[in-house]
Amino acid sequence: MVARGAGFCFGVKRALKMAFEAARGGQGDVVTLGPIIHNPQVVASLEEEGLRVVTSLEDVDGGTLVVRSHGLPRRVLDEAAEKGMTIVDATCPFVKQAQDRAVQLEREGHAVVVVGEEDHPEVLSITGSLEGVATVVDGTSPIVSDLPEADRYGVVCQTTQPQEHLSAVVSELLPRTRELKVFNTICEATFERQESALKAAREVDLMLVVGGRNSANTRRLWELCREAGRDAYHIETADELEPEWFEGKEEVGITGGASTPQWIVDEVVAAVERI
Ligand code: F3S
């Protein structure tokens, strides 16, 4: 059973199209800060087209910067502009919306709280859009001690977080404040993918979650399947499948993250059928 929504989401498809176009036709050196998506196979084929992955703009002089779907903090965009770089902005519109909402909350005088993973590039792009400092909480542990005292809190969420994390933070904040403004910035694609993975997980004996090991949304799908009490494995490619996983299992569910190409999901399906 292949879960609905497995494979590239709208934002990733859009970013890849822009990246391939820039790699083929961009001016000078064409770079991204970090891999364009969390999928090593796709990154390798983009490198063949001429898109170079760098970790900072320090050694880059001019050329083209492709901004990933996660977005970038404002100071990095300013740095690229100062270097005279052409910017191809492939920030996912849903991420852009989370950035804009955070800015709005800050302007309105709220203490901004971002629900998500502190070091995730998307979260850094959201907090990096602000003038001041936001508090990042992951929604899985009590947050009270992390928060500054404030009369007004404003909340946005990393686009790939599960709904429960946002809800947990909101219910913890509510009794602490007189005003709480929440923008549910979890993207539709994430919501649907998580729902359909959970639905599949409840119906099968074993779940396979396909996607880059460094892909936060893929890892999250894996966690959700396990939390649903299902045996589940996170794999990057079909080569990692072990026949003994399937002993005594009759039905297998397969899902993939937002940055997992359809052809990798198809290869896993074919390999499972062979086993
Ligand atoms: Fe955008 Fe959602 Fe994909 S935020 S990049 S459409 S997972």
pLDDT tens over the chain, length 275 residues: 999 887 788 999 999 999 999 999 867 899 999 999 877 778 898 999 999 999 999 989 899 999 999 999 999 999 999 999 999 999 999 999 999 999 999 999 999 999 999 999 999 999 999 999 999 998 777 666 667 788 899 999 999 898 889 999 999 888 888 899 999 999 988 888 999 999 999 999 999 999 988 888 899 999 999 999 999 999 999 999 999 999 999 999 999 998 888 889 999 999 999 99
Q: Would strands 111-115 and 152-157 be described as parallel, antiparallel, or unpaired?
A: parallel
| pTM for this entry | 0.86
Helix (H) or strand (E) holding 205: none
Domains parsed from the chain with CATH numbers? 10-91 (3.40.50.11270), 94-186 (3.40.1010.20), 191-274 (3.40.1010.20)
| SS3 at position 64 | strand
Q: From atom 2 of ligand 1, which residue's Cα is the shortest distance away?
A: 187
4's tokens: 């609905």
On the CB side of 77, CA atoms within 13 Å amount to 16
Measuring CA to CA, which residue among 184, 181, 142 is closest to residue 161? 184
Best CA proximity match to 6, nearest among 170, 209, 205: 209
Q: How far is the C-alpha of 1 from the C-alpha of 204, rounded, in Å?
A: 8
Write out the catalytic residue numbers. 122
Measured from the CB, is residue 8 less than 6 Å from ligand 1? no
Q: Which DSSP category does 83 fall into?
A: T
- Is 258 a pocket residue for ligand 1 (Cβ < 6 Å)? yes
What is the C-alpha separation between 94 and 108, in angstroms, rounded? 21
Q: Give the pair of three-digit tokens for residue 188.
A: 């539709």
Sheet holding 152-157, edge to edge: 135-137, 111-115, 152-157, 179-182
Alpha helices in 29-144 (DSSP H): 40-49, 74-82, 93-107, 121-127
d(CA 162, CA 224): 9
- Burial bucket for residue 167 (CB in 10 Å: 0-12, 13-18, 19+): middle
Distance (angstroms) between ligand 1 centre and the Cα of 257 equals 10
Ligand 1 pocket test, pick from 17, 94, 157, 260 with the greatest ligand atom count within 8 Å of Cβ, gives 94
User: Among 12, 38, 156, which residue has the most ligand 1 atoms within 8 Å of its CB, making it the best to mutate?
Assistant: 12
Distance (Å, whole) CA 58 – CA 143: 36
Does 224 contact ligand 1 (Cβ within 6 A)? no
* Distance from Cα 123 to the centre of ligand 1, integer Å: 13
Whole-number Å distance, alpha carbon 15 to ligand 1 midpoint, is 10
Q: Tell me the CA–centroid distance for residue 210 and ligand 1, in Å.
A: 17
Which residue has its alpha carbon closest to ligand 1 atom 6?
11
CA gap 196, 58 in Å, rounded: 42
